[in-house]
Chain A
């Protein structure tokens, strides 16, 4: 076929507009007559609002209007919601405090929304904001999770005594305890998964518009899932019914989870557009992004692993406290529960697992899904645990992992998941070869000669992607189903428009989705347009997160293409005067089996619309089909990453010398794009391990709220990556796709930390392993090394 089908390394269709500056991001959208919104944010982590005086601000030049939480309440605008119900182990529902879009009487974190100023220009809105007088009664904040659960600690939400949202558990506690009772060796580890700020390069933004003639609202917003945004804004927050609310997520400059959620700002902008009778635009500055984008990770965990004398894992017990911040963000409750504990089995056959997770409120920004969402936290626990266990049992870390690998599929773990396919040995073997593991000893010696410490670290990760079967997630508390939709519109000239509920914000769907169409219909990707991100065009969709667009979104497209093929065969049958059963479709041509009669796809499309060759009562004119795909299982991408570091003990600087990644993503649509996803994921994982960390001081001030203070990975912090693949097709969707978007971010942190602790003679160290932290560990190591 045309060379642009499945597996082809084709250049991206969307790139031309991006490299020429013609992308259309939300901040590039300007509506006629628009005013600008600026949010007054709380300077305190925890305070009662005694009074708000707006008079002086209202008198400022250019001010259109100013609103507070009272105005939203008067209009019966509902609060922001959390869409996943978690039940505590005693059966009680999670304790979700109210989350008004603008504060009502109380603020709960620095950056919480107090008022919105709308003015002719952004500068005027900022000037006026300075004149708002808020009288706060400052309350003691609880910043750390330990503070939050301490007896007598201040309470954020009255509905949640002791600031506990839930005490949740998964697995069979008695079975796990029994495994520990027979253990020859027990490995124990305290683990901190540091808090991160997602930092998509495009800050969040929103433009709300209201048409008083039609009564319809339009919201342009930086969203990964505009239909979910419309659903929540309509059904729960009460802006307008869905047929009166159009949500458009145009080009979106990265998401990484942070743009899944429905935030206060877009809610207020779209509501205020009607109030002031003008479009209202808001664009976050970077510090606002740090303060109010949902953060990621932030777990404190104690884990214990039971082993027999040979190094076979018998059981795992995990106790985690997860910081959920000051309010429950849209999907926050499921991240440290159902996206976390079900992955604790890793790639290993572990007979008994028991996990307990406490979700905790603190006076910090809400925490929700960030690239990997729960799975990086689980992988960090299990991959640090197996590494330390191997060290304690004096076994090679690769061999130790192999001893425990799952080898028979399907494999039911003790924590919900049923792994459908994989070959973990194949990935390990290939990774060891690519990383030249057999010569690591020589490389360590060479580094030692230079006074440097070299270490190697493994991460044999697994993730659950392609979320997810609607019935399954429903049974676990999700408020929505997680299917996806696709519509195929064939034009009379044979070009094709695809409407998908998936959303692209860097993933390259305009190319990969077109590649599937190219493969199936035998036309060039140049003749395929992918339409997404507009609720007036695409009927319904669940959006992009959890590495689901390939496995779920493209499966829906595949199903719709099946229907197109069936219909087109009928049309071809009429034209070629044959039964549709005798029509074959191959390489873009329909032919009558056993004859030389054929017609190409474009001609069939034309015939479908002119409908002269068939009776329109017998066969409907047109060529347009749609489908919804509900997955039958999660998908299970897995692989082995090997990180090799060299540390200068004099400075504590860690340099990543080699990175080997071998991933099994099932079938691959475009290897160039998949490799790019792996690179980017690793960079975020390395950022977590070496550089990044959101730090609140004792008063709840975020001290890392700019790029001067929060260490984003720069080009010279990172290595080039050696990326390889193995393949076992995924049996759970028609394309055999597993998903690749989050793998790197999931795999990387334990690989880095296992390498660093290897270099440091097994001295434990927390993320981020900054030069200071590494230097201190090296100082602890030095006298020990001298004594040895």
Chain B
């Protein structure tokens, strides 16, 4: 067993875990945060994307012990109570989701995209930056639109730098 301490969505916890526990398993099974999904288990599809110390990482091939001491943000930590994060609101407004399975990863990637690329995102940039997130339902058209307007809204709300 190995001891791991993580701050997840603002809450610090320490657990003894099997050292081969993946970060996504830690989040889903130890913390019951099931919003982070496993779509491919090989870092291809991006359904498991979370923020580790502010950067988007895929949690399905990351050992929990490897990020010991880190601050993690999952999809459950993005909204402030009932107040949606602007990127979440944009996905709903522009119909950027259908089955919802890739959506948490898409939104976490999109928020990170804004952190790295700014709030004025053109379609080409968004499409290139989504290379690591696969959606089978939407054909991406409305995801691209949602991220464009979500980024813009983050700029207006001042949440881009958070």
Contact = CB atoms under 8 A, between A and B. Distances in A.
A708 B99 CA distance: 23
B92 A683 contact: no
Contacts of A675: 95
Contacts of A20: 35, 75-76, 78-79, 84, 88
Nearest to B29: A30
Interface stretch (B61-69, B134-142, B154-162): B134-142
Given A201-B101, A252-B99, A15 B91 contact: yes
A201 B45 contact: yes
Interface in A226-277: 251-254, 256
Given A506-B98, A673-B95, A201 B42 contact: no
Interface string A7-42: 000011011111111111101100000000000000
Nearest to B89: A19
A522 B102 CA distance: 35
Contact of B136 (A11, A18, A712): A712
B44 to A, nearest CB: 3
Per DSSP, are chain A's interface residues mostly helix, strand or loop, or mixed?
loop
B97 interface: yes
Given A19-B88, A680-B138, A11 B93 contact: yes
Interface in B76-135: 76, 78-79, 84, 88, 91-93, 95, 97-104, 107, 123, 126-128, 130-131, 133-135
Interface residues of B, number: 54
A517 to B, nearest CB: 21
A199 B140 CA distance: 16
A760 to B, nearest CB: 25
Contact of A12 (B34, B42, B95, B137): B95
A500 interface: no
B8 to A, nearest CB: 12
A706 interface: yes
A530 to B, nearest CB: 15
B37 interface: yes
A434 to B, nearest CB: 16
- Which of A19, A251, A283 is most buried by chain B, counting CB atoms within 10 A of its CB? A19
B99 A506 contact: yes
Given A123-B18, A286-B40, A707-B45, A253 B34 contact: no
A286 B123 contact: no
Given A20-B79, A199-B136, A715 B99 contact: no
A25 B37 contact: yes
A253 B92 contact: no
B72 interface: no
A676 B144 CA distance: 13
B160 to A, nearest CB: 18
A4 to B, nearest CB: 15
A113 B136 CA distance: 27
B36 interface: yes
Contact of B144 (A17, A253, A720): A720
B138 to A, nearest CB: 5
B106 to A, nearest CB: 10
A572 to B, nearest CB: 37
Interface in A182-214: 199-203
A201 B102 contact: yes
A721 B139 contact: yes
- Which of B18, B78, B98, B126 is most buried by chain A, counting CB atoms within 10 A of its CB? B98
Contact of B39 (A14, A286, A708, A715): A286
A750 interface: no
B2 to A, nearest CB: 14
Nearest to A19: B88
A507 interface: yes
B139 A19 contact: no
B150 to A, nearest CB: 11
Contact of A714 (B35, B40, B130): B130
Given A20-B79, A203-B39, A720 B92 contact: no
Contact of A18 (B20, B100, B126): B100
A165 to B, nearest CB: 29
B136 to A, nearest CB: 5
B38 interface: yes
B143 interface: yes
B59 interface: no
Given A21-B33, A21-B36, A721-B141, A672 B130 contact: no
A253 B131 contact: no
A342 interface: no
A748 B84 CA distance: 36
B39 A202 contact: yes
Nearest to B36: A21
A751 B138 CA distance: 19
Contacts of A199: 136
A697 interface: no
A718 interface: yes
Contacts of B97: 15, 18-19
A221 B120 CA distance: 42
B47 interface: yes
Contacts of B128: 715-716
A506 B100 CA distance: 7
B35 A22 contact: yes
A505 B45 CA distance: 19
Contact of B92 (A16, A22, A712): A16
Interface in B1-53: 18, 20, 28, 33-42, 44-45, 47
A586 B141 CA distance: 39
B130 A286 contact: no
Contacts of B34: 21, 24-25, 27-28
B135 A682 contact: no
A20 B141 CA distance: 21
Contacts of A672: 95
A679 interface: yes
A706 B84 contact: no
Contact of A253 (B18, B84, B101, B133): B101
B123 A720 contact: yes
Given A12-B95, A714-B131, A720-B141, A202 B101 contact: yes
A396 interface: no
A706 B140 contact: no
Contact of B74 (A15, A21, A283, A684): A21
B35 A23 contact: yes
A19 B103 contact: yes
A282 to B, nearest CB: 14
Contacts of A713: 139-140
A716 B39 contact: no
A706 B39 CA distance: 11
Given A12-B92, A285-B41, A21 B75 contact: yes
Interface string A500-531: 00000111100000000000000000000000
A679 B103 CA distance: 16
A21 B76 CA distance: 6
A457 interface: no
Nearest to A18: B100
Interface in A639-696: 672-673, 675-676, 679-684
A744 interface: yes
Interface of B: 18, 20, 28, 33-42, 44-45, 47, 74-76, 78-79, 84, 88, 91-93, 95, 97-104, 107, 123, 126-128, 130-131, 133-144
Given A21-B75, A675-B95, 16 more contacts: A11-B93, A18-B103, A23-B100, A201-B37, A201-B45, A203-B38, A251-B100, A506-B99, A676-B142, A680-B98, A680-B138, A684-B139, A707-B134, A714-B127, A718-B127, A720-B144
- Ranked nearest first, the 7 interchain pairs of A and B with the lowest CB-CB distance are A21-B35, A253-B101, A18-B100, A683-B139, A506-B99, A707-B44, A21-B75
25 contacts: A17-B100, A19-B84, A20-B35, A20-B76, A20-B88, A21-B34, A22-B76, A27-B34, A27-B38, A123-B20, A202-B37, A253-B99, A254-B136, A283-B38, A675-B95, A676-B138, A682-B139, A712-B134, A713-B140, A714-B140, A715-B133, A715-B143, A718-B140, A720-B123, A720-B144
